[in-house]
A and B are shown apart, each in its own frame.
Chain A
Amino acid sequence: MVLVCAIVPALMLCLAILYIMLLRRFFLVKAKLPVLGVRGVLGRTEGKRRKIAAWAALFLVVCLTAQLAASAWAPGMLMVFSYEEATRGQNPNVTRFNESNILSDDILEQVIQRGGLGISVEQLSKCLSISTSLDAEKLDVTQESDMKISTEYRVYCSGRAALYGTEPKTVLNLLADVYWEKFVLNYAENDSILDLSFEKLEGMEYLDAKDYLEMQANKLRNYLPGYSSESSSFRAADSEETFSSLSQKISNFIEIELERYEAFVLEKGLADNRTTYQSRMQYVNHQLDVSRRKEMASHDVRIEAINMYNAYMTRFVLIPTYDTDKEFYMSKTKVGVDYFADEAKEHLESATELVEKIEHNTYASQQVGGSHASSSAYDQADQRIEALKAELINLAAQSRELCSTYVREKRDGYIQVSFAAPAVLDSALKALLLTALFAAALGGNAVLDPFYREYQKGRPAGRRGSRVVKKQEESAS
């Protein structure tokens, strides 16, 4: 195919040589050309017209076939970015889209690896080019109407790739695959968070297991709102679930299932190692109490500061303003005392939460200490953990299924790729143009041929001719 690709350039070279010959002959014989006898001159080509037509037809067929074969062998690839954010020049994860990533060294290196190609990154880079339909437009970046973002990119691979034992279409296909894979992993929705791991549950205390499972469930619950805000009512064809219903299921799991499990463990006072658990709770409570006291101290300081404030300084001013809905209202300016009051409230709330935790830990520690749980209670707790794990895995699978269906339907696979079919009309026009030039060159040469022959006959012998004459004279003498 490399040879086929070389046919059109070779024909163009032939054409150039023909025109050089034609020009040379024209300048040599122009003095002998009849200025007004063009018809008579053209009449001289009568015998050669069929020959010229036959050559032109052959030229046309070869040129057109070679062009079509070459463009089918090395087609251009169109990459269309079909997600909503592409029109804003962003990736699906709202990071900035960068066109140069498509042909980055990193991607090209992976293309080479994936295809087992015997070519360096630099060589491959020279074979590839990228353009957009906007490249041809003369845009004025100062005009807002001219600020366009392309979502379509045409990538071309030169036929030179064949010199390295591969084909342009193969290279482009590999490039599309590698880029797509990289794009989905780095810039699109990354659902690896849904790969739940329960390895750390092994050997964990029964009460700690609840916290661990809650953390995993929260991972799922926090992953869904992104989709839920886009399309909360989206439903897969063969499923009843929506993002909001799934989110609700996960909330129920945390608030009902996990709470039930915790109540069971607390009631029975289950622990793998009572003494260790109690000492750990004691230590945790000590730390929590230190934090509580710090929070209370911060609270007290602020209350004290508020009491010390001069009444004159606590006056506020009302300022007329607009809210986000462009509604008029009177805004009350905050003064220092307001900030102190807010902070004091926050510190008090934190301290109250810490007290609750301490009380919970104390209760758990007491329950564990006074426990006389049978082995069947432990078996029951183990079974409950397994059931909770299974339910969480099921929720993760449902989330993944729904998210991937949503992504598939909404994003159309993010990138759509197509290979351009050979442009028959363009190729035919180009072939016709070249053929016309070829026929003109042949015709011109045919017209000038008789004059050129006359010129050759009439001109003095050249270097070789004079040498022959000299030799003849020498032999005669």
Chain B
Amino acid sequence: MQKNKGGPGGSRAAKPKRRGRAFLCGLLVIALLALGGYHLFSNELEVTFYHLYSPKIAGGENIRVAVLSDLHNREFGPGNGELVERIRALKPDLIAIAGDMVNADDGNLDVILTLCSKLTEIAPVYYSPGNHESNLMYEKGSPLESMLLEQGVRVLVNRAEEVTIHRTPLLIGGLTTSTEGYEEYGAVFFDEYEKSAAFKLLIAHYPSLYYEYLADGHVDLGICGHYHGGQFRLPVVGGVYHGDTGFFPKYSGGMYQLSNSTIFVSRGMGGHNGLPRINNRPELAIIDINGRQDTNFS
């Protein structure tokens, strides 16, 4: 009885109504899927802001660090013009490059050299090579390091440079070695580096160094890359996978507080393995270091 509630005329009229509703629902679902897909697979450059409190910052001025990593020869606009303009607008005091800006297998250096020539006009550029640069420089004999030095880039290969920004002395170091070669190539440098009383900014491509060797080290700000944000990012959980660590890398992207250090792991800006970045937009990170304290109020 209930099915024939509208009578024969009523059921006939209800059919197109139901179809209309189904069509509207379908459209809504398609729109939501398109929106979600656009958001999840977006490859648009994202500027992320981080704040770091340090009692070592003199006076009231902010020190702004722009972090670039894992570009893998990708271009944002012709000659990376879009990227450069974004950085210029943000007026960083220094630019830290955490390696893997090139691809070891194609040997093309034009992208990074063009980019660095423009970046050096904005702020001093400190470049610590990653595994792709190391492969090019030490295995394929690429003159990348000397070419970068010609552009005015400070290439830091297991060494550090002192610089004073807004009256605050900084010791910017570059630790190029991976965990396997740390004891042989990096330990001596780091032991000496750690003793400095200046603000220590250490650019090391591999976050895995902080799993063990540098876990208790005294670094005011460690900057890393390499994990590409874990390729796919889940809300709350973070990065899902990287070849070196397997599933759910410990430090996949963002700021992490260790026992004596704070590290920032960049999600990077490109990729090399051909896998899409899901919910993981290319990141240009801006870290503001100042004397403004953050506390935990309820």
The interface of chain A, by Cβ under 8 A from chain B, is: 3, 78, 80, 113-116, 170, 173-174, 176-177, 180-181, 183-185, 188, 191, 400, 404, 408, 412-413, 415-418, 420-421, 453, 468
Beyond the given A184-B59, A418-B297, please list 16 additional residue pairs across the A-B interface where CB-CB is below 8 A: A114-B91, A116-B47, A116-B89, A173-B288, A176-B292, A177-B292, A180-B292, A185-B61, A191-B59, A408-B291, A413-B53, A413-B291, A415-B292, A417-B292, A417-B293, A420-B298
B292 closest partner in A (C-beta): A180
Which A residues lie within 8 Å of B9 (CB)? 468
Which A residues lie within 8 Å of B62 (CB)? 177, 181
Flag if A184 contacts B60 (CB, 8 Å): yes
Pairs across A and B, CB under 8 Å, 8 listed: A115-B47, A116-B90, A170-B48, A191-B59, A408-B291, A417-B293, A417-B294, A421-B298
Flag if B60 contacts A177 (CB, 8 Å): no
Flag if B60 contacts A416 (CB, 8 Å): no
Which B residues lie within 8 Å of A180 (CB)? 60, 290-292
Bound: A78/B297 CA distance, A: 8
Q: A184-B60, A191-B59 are in contact. Are A418 and B296 (CB under 8 A)?
A: yes
Which A residues lie within 8 Å of B90 (CB)? 114-116
Q: A181-B290, A184-B59 are in contact. Are A173 and B49 (CB under 8 A)?
A: yes
Which B residues lie within 8 Å of A413 (CB)? 53, 291-293
* Other-chain residue from A78, A174, A408, A420 in contact with B55 (beta carbon distance below 8 A): A408
A400 closest partner in B (C-beta): B58
Flag if A404 contacts B58 (CB, 8 Å): yes
Q: Interface residues of A: mostly helix, strand, loop or mixed?
A: helix
Which B residues lie within 8 Å of A468 (CB)? 9
Q: A116-B47, A173-B49, A468-B9 are in contact. Are A418 and B294 (CB under 8 A)?
A: yes
Q: Which of B273-298 contact A (CB under 8 A)?
A: 288, 290-298
A192 CB to nearest chain B CB (Å): 8
B273 CB to nearest chain A CB (Å): 29
* B19 contacts chain A at the CB level, 8 A cutoff: no
Q: Which 6 A-B pairs have the closest CB atoms?
A: A184-B60, A418-B297, A413-B293, A180-B292, A116-B89, A416-B295
B contact residues, range: 20 to 34
Which B residues lie within 8 Å of A115 (CB)? 47, 49, 90
B235 closest partner in A (C-beta): A69
The interface of chain B, by Cβ under 8 A from chain A, is: 5, 9, 35, 47-49, 51, 53, 55, 58-62, 86, 89-91, 288, 290-298
B88 CB to nearest chain A CB (Å): 9
A472 closest partner in B (C-beta): B9
A91 CB to nearest chain B CB (Å): 13
Bound: A421/B295 CA distance, A: 12
Bound: A88/B165 CA distance, A: 35
Which B residues lie within 8 Å of A420 (CB)? 297-298
Which B residues lie within 8 Å of A3 (CB)? 35
Bound: A240/B59 CA distance, A: 22
Which A residues lie within 8 Å of B55 (CB)? 408
* Other-chain residue from A113, A177, A418, A421 in contact with B290 (beta carbon distance below 8 A): A177
Bound: A3/B28 CA distance, A: 14
Q: A115-B49, A116-B89, A170-B49 are in contact. Are A181 and B61 (CB under 8 A)?
A: yes
A456 CB to nearest chain B CB (Å): 9
Bound: A408/B291 CA distance, A: 9
Which B residues lie within 8 Å of A400 (CB)? 58
Which B residues lie within 8 Å of A113 (CB)? 91
B88 closest partner in A (C-beta): A116
A118 CB to nearest chain B CB (Å): 10
Bound: A188/B60 CA distance, A: 9
B51 closest partner in A (C-beta): A173
B94 CB to nearest chain A CB (Å): 16
Which B residues lie within 8 Å of A116 (CB)? 47, 86, 89-90
Q: A181-B62, A185-B60 are in contact. Are A417 and B295 (CB under 8 A)?
A: yes
